[in-house]
Structure 1
Amino acid sequence: MRSGCLRLLHGLLCVLLSLSRAGAWDFQPCAPGCPLYSECVNATACRCKPGFASTSTEIFTNLLEICDEVDECKQNPRICKGRSTCTNTQGSYTCQCLPGFELNPEDPRLCIDVDECSSGQHQCHQSAICTNTLGSYQCHCRPGWEPISGRHHGWNSIICKVKPLFTWPLPPGVHSQSLSHFTDKVNNLHKDVKPIQAKDTIQGIVQEVDELLETPGDLETLPPSQKHCMATHLLTGLESALTHLSRALPEGTATFNYSAGTQVSLEVQKKGICNVTFSLNQAKMQLNWNKAQESCYKGPSVVGLVSTPGMAKLLAEAPLVLEPEKQVAPHGTHKDLLPRVSPILLSDVISAFLSSNDTQNLSSPVTFTFFHPPVTLAPRHKVFCVFWDHSQNGSHWTTAGCRTVSTGGGSTTCHCTHLSSFAVLMAHYHMQDDDPVLSIITCVGLGVSLLCLVLAALTFLLCRAIQNTSTSLHLQLSLCLLLAHLLFLTAIDRTQHKVLCVVTAGALHYLYLASFTWMLLEGLFLFLTARNLTVLSSSSRNRLMRRLMFPVGYGVPATIVAVSAAARPHLYGTPARCWLNSEQGFVWGFLGPACAISCVNLVFFLMTLWILKSKLSSINREVSTLQNTRMLTFKAMAHLFILGCTWCLGVLQVGPMAPIMAYLFTIVNSLQGVFIFLVYCLLSQQVREQYRTWLKRIRKRTAEPESYTLSSKAVSDAS
C-alpha cells in the first residue's frame, strides 16, 4: 500500500512537471485576503480596481485598507462634452445627452444636435414649416399665412391658414353692383382656406376676375377716373392674392386659361435655375431666378405672369406720362415732343410678380416681349413700353424704368428694372408751334452766313498773299460750316423718308463735329504762333500742323460718328428733326466732344493771353512785333467768341432763361459765317489790299471797252 501511494505521488508530480513545461500552468503566489474592490499584485501586496482608490498608496500591503469608489463626474466636471450631463456609476460613469441631442458615435462623451426637421422627428403640421434650432425645432407659418391653433415655437404642432390679405373691399368713391357682387364672391373663397385648397382658390379668384372683365356691367358707365381706379384695384388685388396663395402650391409649373382670354402662368421652385422664361399667348417674360429668392425665407420661391386682355375696357383713355425728353437740334430749334391724351393700347395688359419683397429696383432688367397686331408707324407716331403707375398723383401709364428695345413685325421687346403691370402703347406726337421770329432769324442768319462762307472760301483759295498754314485751317473750317449750314437749311425737317433722315442726321453729326475739330486746331495754332512770335523761323511749327491737320480734322469726327452709329444706329433721327435722339443720352455723342473742345479752346485762349501779356510788357518795342502781337490778341478773343461761346448758349437753354438763351444762341450761331468772313478777311490788311487789286482790275477791264467805244464813236463823227 505504501508503494502504491508513492507511485500515485510520483505520477502527480510528473503531470505537474509536464504542465509546467508546456506553459499551461503558471503559478504565482497571491496575497491572501485582499480587501473588497481590490486585486492582488503579488504574494504580499494588493491594489484597488479601476474606478476605486485607497486612502493611502496605490499598492498597499495592509489587508485592512479600504477601496473607496471614485466619483469621476466631480473629479473632472468637463469629462462629458457638449450638451450632456455626467452620471456616476459603480466603478465608472455615463454621459447622458439633453433632449434634442444625441451621442456622437465617434466620441461617446460628446453630444451633438439632432435635426428633427430633416430626420422627420418633428410634429409640425403639413401646413407649417419646420425650422431646426439648437436642441429643438420650431413650427411656423409661411409668409402671408397665420396659425389657427397651437403656439409658434417648440415642438407643438400648429395649423396655418392664409391670411386675409387679399380681401377686396369696395374702393372708396366707386358705386357698382357688379363690383359689389364680385367682392362678395372673392371674399368667400378664402375663408378657412387650407394649403391643399390653394390651387382651387387661385382658380376661383382668377375666374371671378375673368368673368368681371368679360361682362363688366355697370362698370362701363363709370367715369374714366373711376374706371382707372377700378383697374388699379383689380391689378393690385390679383397680384397680392396670387403671390400669397401660390406659395402653398407644390414645386413645378402651373398654367390656367379662362374664357375671356385671361391667362396665368406660375412656377414654384426651392432652388431655381439660372434663367426662366414664361410664355403666354400674347406675351413672354425672361428673368434670372435669383431675383425671386428671398434671403430670409427658406421656403419655395414663386414667379408668375398674368395676362388680362379684358383690362383694356377699364384702361381706355388712360393718360400717358413720359419721362422728360428734349429733342435738341442746332441753331435753336428746341422742340418738346408731347403725346396726345389718349394713346392706343396695342397689347394685352400683363402683370409680373415675385415672392421677393423688393421688386422695384432690380439689379438687372427683366425682358418682356409683347405680341400684338402689326402696325405701320406714320410720321410722328411712336411705340412705348409702359407700366401702370398708381401713385398719389393719380393712375396713369408711364415710361419710367422701362425702355423700348425694338419693335416691328407684330412684336415689341422691352427692358424694365422693376415689376408691375405692363403694356405697349402707340402715341401720336404733336410738336409745339415754332417761334416764327426764331425761324426767320435762323433762315436769314444762315443765308447770310452761307454767302459769307462762300466769299471767305474763295478768298482763302485765290488770295496767294495770305496762303499759309493758318489760311488752310480757315479754309477747312469754312467748308465744314458751309456744308453743315446748307444741309441744315435743306434737309433738317425732311423726316418723311426714314433712311434719308438717318443719313442726314449722321452727316450733320459729322460736319458739326468736324467744325469743332478744326476749331480746336485753330486754337492750337494760335497758341503756337503766340509762343513762337519772336522766333524768326517757324518751319517746324508749320510742318507739325501740316502733319496733324487732315488726320485730326477729319479723322477724329469720323471715328466718333462711326462708334455712335455702330452702338445705336436707331437713335439717328427723331420724329421731329433729322438730328440725334436724346434717348439714352445719345445726344451727348455730339455735346460731349463739343463741350470738351470748347474747354480746351478756353485753356488755349488763356495761355495765349498770358504769353501776349508778357510780350506786350517786354522791353522790345519793335513796331512790327507789337502789331503782330495786337493782331494775335484780337484773333484769340474773336476765336473764343466765334468758335466756343456760341455753342455754350445752346446748352444753357434751361429754366426761365431758356427763351432768352434760345434767341441769343440762334442769332450768334447762325451768324458764324459772317464773323469768320469779318475777322479773317475784312480785318486782314493783306486781304483788303488784295480786294483793292481785284477791284482795280475789274474797273480797268470795264473801262477799256468804254474807252474803245468812245474812240470809235469820235472817229466816225470826224468822218
Structure 2
Amino acid sequence: MELKWALLLGLFLPSCSGCHTGYTSYEQKCVDEDECAVFPVVCGDHAQCVNTEGSYYCRCHEGFEMSLTGPCKDMDECKDAPDVCGTDGSCYNHQGGYSCKCDQGYSNYGHNQSKCIEMDCNQFGPLSVDHRPKKLKQLMSLLKKSCESLNDPHGEHLTGEELLQNVFSSSDELLSEGTIADGETLNQFLDAVENSMRLIGPQLKEPVTRMETHNTFAEVAVMRGQTPPSGRITLSTDSALFSASWETVVGESYPGFAFAALVSYKDLNSSSDLLYKISRERPDDEERGVSYQLNSKVVTAVISNAETKQLSEPVMLVFTHEEEREESEGVTYSCVYWDDAEGVWSGRGCEGAWSNSTHTVCYWSHFSTFAVLMALYPVQDTFELVMITRVGLALSLVCLFLCILTFKFCRSIQGTRTSIHLHLSISLFIADLVFLCGISSTHNQVACGIVAGLLHFFFLSAFCWMLLEGVQIYRMVVMVFHTTLKHLYMYLVGYGAPLVIVIISAITFPAGYGTKRHCWLSLDRYFILSFFAPVCIIVILNGFVFIITIWKLAKNFSSLNPDLSSLKQIRSFTVAAVAQLCILGGTWIFGFFLFQEKGTEVMLYLFTILNSLQGALIFIMHCLLPKPVRTEYYNLFGRMRPHKKKAKYRTSPSQTSSSQKPLRSDGSTAETHI
C-alpha cells in the first residue's frame, strides 16, 4: 500500500532536469558554483577572481586594467596621467606599475611613485656665524648629508627611523648642555628641528611613529595613497595635544603623501631676557611690574603643507600646565609662539584660547613653535593694608623714640643691657622711618637701591643687638651679675657685622637692591637670602643661648643658698628677651613665608601688623612693665606739675639701693648691684 502511494506521488511531483549556468546540483538542489575555486586561473595572472551568486568577476591588480580582448593588461600610468611624477620628474612605466626619477635638486623621499618635490639641502648648510654650539653644527651636517643622499638613488642613506633617533640624540645633548640661551641659538635650533621633521616625516614607514628620549618626545603620522586623506588627525605627547583636519595638513598640493609631527621639549626654558622682550607688545605690563614665565613644555608642530602662514581653518593645541594655578587677577595665561624674525615670544596669530588651573587650549592660524606663557601680576596693596602699615609704623616710631629717650636718660636702669636696648631701638627706629618714607620710591632706581641697602643694614643690626642681649644675659647667669661687655666689641657685632654683609652683597649683586614693586631685596639669584640667612642663624643661636640660660637658672634656683632676688631679676630679663626674640624673629618668619605660593594674603597681613607694632611691643616690655622705669615716669610727671605738691613715690629700700643707683666709674653697671 505504501509503495503504491509513493508511485502515485512521483507522477505529480516535478523533476530537476538541470541547473542554470553558474549553479550546480547538490542533493537534488541547485547551489551556487564557486568558479574561482574550480578554475583558479580563470582571470589570468594579473587579476583576482571574485565569486558572486551564480557568476564571478575579475578584479585587476594595481597597475593593471581590464582588457576588452582578454585578461588584465598593464596600465601605462605615465601615458594616462602625465603629471603623476610632477613637473620635475620623469615617469618610467613597467609591468604592473611605474617609477619616478626626479631631476637634480628634487626628490620623492625614496617613494618612487610619489611626486618629485624640490629639495633645499642648503638650509642645513653652515651659516655665517661661527659661535654656534658644536653639537648644533654636527646636527646640521648630518641633516644636510641625509638630504643630499635622497637625490642619489645608489647612495647610502639612513632610514627615517634611524635619522629621527640621531636628531633627537643630538637635541638631547644640546638641551642637556644648556647652550641654548640666546635668541639666535634658539632660532637655529628650532629651525633645525622643524626642517629635520620635514625631511624625516615622509621617510617614515609606519602610519604613526612615537619616539621619546631624555629631553624630547615626538609623535609623527604619515598617510600615503593616490587620493588625499580626509577627516581629523590627533597627535599627543607627554605635555601637549594637537588636532587638525587632514585637509589642512595636505594643503593645495598633494604629492602622494601627507604627514604631521608634534615635538615636545622637556628641558627647553627661555631665559628671562627673552621673556622680558614680550613687554614690547604689552608696555602697560612693564610699567605695572608684571613678570612672565613659561608654564608649559615648548612644542613644535610641523605639517607637510608648506603654506602655513595663514591657515583657512585654525588648528588646536592643548597644553598641560607645569605649575597648577587658577587664573585670577594676579595670574593670566597666554598662548604664544616663537617669532624667529623678532627673536621673541609673541601672541600674534592666536585665534582664541581658554584656560583652567591645569590646561590651556589654543587655536592658531599658523604653524610654529608654541608654549603657554603665565603672566604674574603684582598683588596690589589694599587700602586697609596701607592704613595698617602707616598707622602701625607711626605708632612704632613714637614708641621707639620714647624708648630711646628712656634708655638714654633714665639713670636707674643704666647698664650693658640698657645700652643694648638703646642701640636696638635706634636701629629699629631708623629702619621703620626709612621703610615708611622710602619703601615705594621705585621711580628712582638709585634712590630705591639706597633705601633697600639702608633697610638691609638696620634690620640686620637690630637682630645683631638682640643676639648681644642674649649673650649678656647668659654671662649674667654664669658670672652672677658681675659682668659687662665692652662697647667696642658691641659696636663691632651690632654695626660692623651687618655692614660687612651689606658691602659683600652690594659688590656681589648690586642690582639686587630694589625691585619694580618695592625698595627691598630682589628674589633674583636668591639675593633675599643675604638677609634671611643671617637672621635665621641669629635666631637659632639666640634660641640655644636662652635654652642654656634657662637651664642654668633652674640649676641655680635648686642650689642650697640661692640669691632669690637676683635670680628672679635674671628670670624676668630672660623672659623679656625671649619675648623680644619671638616678636622680631616671628615677624620675619612670616616675612619669609610671604614669598611662598600658599597663604600669601594671610601672611602679608600678619607680617605687616607685627612689623608695624614692634616698637610698641618693645616699649611695653622694657619701659612700661619694669617697675624702676615706671618710678622714673611717675617722678617725671610729678615734676611736670609745679602748681601741685609733689607726691613722692615711695619705693622699697631694695629698689632704692639697686635700681636707682647710677653707673659706677669703673664701667660696671647697676645690674651688678641688685
What is the TM-score when the length of structure 1 is the normalising length?
Answer: 0.43
In our comparison, the structure showing a higher alpha carbon Rg is 1
What is the TM-score when the length of structure 2 is the normalising length?
Answer: 0.46
